[in-house]
Structure 1
Amino acid sequence: MWTLKSWQGRLLPHPLPPGERLRSYATWCNAVEGNTTFYATPARSTVESWARQTAPDFRLVVKLPRSITHEGRLTGVDEEVRSFLETIEPLGPRAHALWIQLPGSFAPTDLGTLAGFLHRLPRSHRYAVEVRHRAFFDDARSARLLEGVLAGVGAEWVPFDTTTLFRSPPTSDSEREAWAKKPRMPLRSVALTDRPIVRYLGRDDTASTIEGWRHWVGTVTGWLREGRSPTVFIHTPDNADAPTLARRFHDDVRVLLPEVEPLPEPMPTEPLTLF
């Protein structure tokens, strides 16, 4: 999520070799969703490049490949998991959590499969699970059962907040595409661990996006006061200004909690000159 074309030359320097784009992004934000790993396990040399471009405290939330979560549905995939874990090993502490995004068809009746899968994973990593079946949100018993499975291995439940997107009809092509593809997820803001992860999807209109995240500013501030270390990802349908918005969210939290450290100054998009 650090190579978006619309960022090149506007938020990130251009031209910039692919092996330097994450380094530039990391001056904007101190965390990123490793979404590309969902489509295929990368080459180890690629992962080594990610590690070289980021500081040890940079947070990559790395998604497990769909061959494990969607095609294999967590069954008979031990060899694929082993290979994936070996590949991402160069990240070291940068692998903040391994993100297990499950398909919408993964229901409460599948919780036994999830429990078995999580218990087979090495404890050397943190795990975060994103579910999309409505029963986990609409049925209190199903939610409690999932929380119990996750608590048994210290895993987090990742909320994907799309309530702002679906609050009113789409007004742009990217919003219409998001309406067709993104899940209509109810709001959930309960942290299970000391490292909660939030995914928030706003609108292409900046004011609407900011208004929609007010709840999260208060929630994240509360988590910080409790001693937790949350990670928040800010999206819009076109993501054109996502890094700028992420910094704005960080600043909004700092208004309520000034002791939170500011983010670094972004790398300039143009080379510095003397005149």
Structure 2
Amino acid sequence: MWTHKSWQGRLLAHPLPAGERLRHYAGWCDAVEGNTTFYATPSRETVATWAAQTDPDFRFVLKLPKVVTHERRLGDVAEPLAAFLTAIEPLGPRAHALWVQLPGSFAPADVPVLARFLRRLPDTYRCAVEVRHPAFFTDAPSTRLLEGVLADATAEWIPFDTTALFQDRPTSDAERDAWTKKPRTPLRTHALTDRPIVRYLGRDDTARTVAGWQHWIDVCVDWLREGRSPTVFVHTPDNADAPVLARRFHDEVRAQVPDLPPLPEPEPVEPLTLF
């Protein structure tokens, strides 16, 4: 996601042609979650415009289409998967990871299907898997089973940290909506590879969002000192200030790891005028 209505004219210039929106976002953050690819595989030409708007070290974490993960549940997916991989080829090194977000019904009994799927992926792409079935978090044998399959494929386990959201009752419409849609999974901070990926969901209140991510600051500092290269996505229920918060998170980590490169400087947004 690199456009949001509340960012327009405030964080990003507005109006912007479609071919420039990602470039302006890339002035705020150096990574993006590709959520739209879940709903439809983009054309190769569209993906080429994404590459043209970003530097080679920009990171795309692209969600696999729902026909692959949810409708066919990783089975009999050769055709839609091949179409997706062909479409994203123009990204080159920007394709940081293929994001396999599995439905909550995908249980430990389904792990052999995941193992077969991962073995068939081309080595040119790294894979990161997000699971939501509670047994993967609460049942030790199920945890070990999934970790073993992911480790064999050099794939990462993406934690989606919603603990701050569910700490107490929602206080806004956006938080109430998130309560009905987001998974309640236990906190997980263990990395399997040198490129861990974290999805963090805070609150609409900035202070509570910042308080909720403090353990991730410590985890990321440790990962960086171990030679890992984490990618962290910061969300709030309304996402109104997500780019600002992402930069604040990066600054807090960089305060402890000064060698971490700074994020780019956003392009200035011209104030709106009456004429």
Pick the TM interval, shorter chain: over 0.9
Cross-structure match for 1:175 = 175
Following superposition, the deviation at residue 264 of structure 1 comes to 1.2
Q: Which runs of 5+ in 2 are unaligned?
A: none
Cross-structure match for 2:201 = 201
Following superposition, the deviation at residue 43 of structure 1 comes to 1.1
SS of alignment partner, residue 16 of structure 1: coil
Cross-structure match for 1:259 = 259
In structure 1, how many angstroms separate the alpha carbons of the residues matched to 2:147 and 2:13? 43
SS of alignment partner, residue 97 of structure 2: strand
In structure 1, how many angstroms separate the alpha carbons of the residues matched to 2:257 and 2:47? 35
Cross-structure match for 1:93 = 93
Cross-structure match for 2:237 = 237
Following superposition, the deviation at residue 217 of structure 1 comes to 0.2
In structure 1, how many angstroms separate the alpha carbons of the residues matched to 2:150 and 2:196? 13
In structure 1, how many angstroms separate the alpha carbons of the residues matched to 2:228 and 2:188? 17
SS of alignment partner, residue 125 of structure 2: coil
Cross-structure match for 2:25 = 25
1:107 aligns with 2:107: yes
Identity, % of aligned pairs?
A: 72
1:157 aligns with 2:151: no
Counterpart amino acid of 2:25? Y
Per-residue CA deviation, residues 22-51 of structure 1 (Å, 9 max, x unaligned), is 000000000000110000101111101100
Following superposition, the deviation at residue 60 of structure 1 comes to 0.3
In structure 2, how many angstroms separate the alpha carbons of the residues matched to 1:96 and 1:123? 13
SS of alignment partner, residue 192 of structure 1: coil
Cross-structure match for 2:39 = 39
Cross-structure match for 1:210 = 210
Following superposition, the deviation at residue 185 of structure 1 comes to 1.2
SS of alignment partner, residue 100 of structure 1: strand
SS of alignment partner, residue 199 of structure 2: strand
TM-score computed with the length of structure 1 as normaliser: 0.98
In structure 2, how many angstroms separate the alpha carbons of the residues matched to 1:243 and 1:52? 21
SS of alignment partner, residue 185 of structure 2: coil
In structure 2, how many angstroms separate the alpha carbons of the residues matched to 1:259 and 1:86? 36
Counterpart amino acid of 2:68? I
Counterpart amino acid of 2:43? A
SS of alignment partner, residue 76 of structure 1: coil
Following superposition, the deviation at residue 262 of structure 1 comes to 1.1
State the 4+ residue runs in structure 1 displaced beyond 2 angstroms: none
TM-score computed with the length of structure 2 as normaliser: 0.98
Per-residue CA deviation, residues 192-245 of structure 1 (Å, 9 max, x unaligned), is 000000000000000000000000000000000000000000000000000000
Per-residue CA deviation, residues 116-139 of structure 1 (Å, 9 max, x unaligned), is 010011111000000000000000
SS of alignment partner, residue 232 of structure 1: strand
1:54 aligns with 2:46: no
Let me know the Cα RMSD of the aligned residues.
0.7
Q: Which runs of 5+ in 1 are unaligned?
A: none
SS of alignment partner, residue 69 of structure 2: helix
Cross-structure match for 1:225 = 225
In structure 1, how many angstroms separate the alpha carbons of the residues matched to 2:14 and 2:84? 32
In structure 1, how many angstroms separate the alpha carbons of the residues matched to 2:262 and 2:111? 40
Aligned length: 271
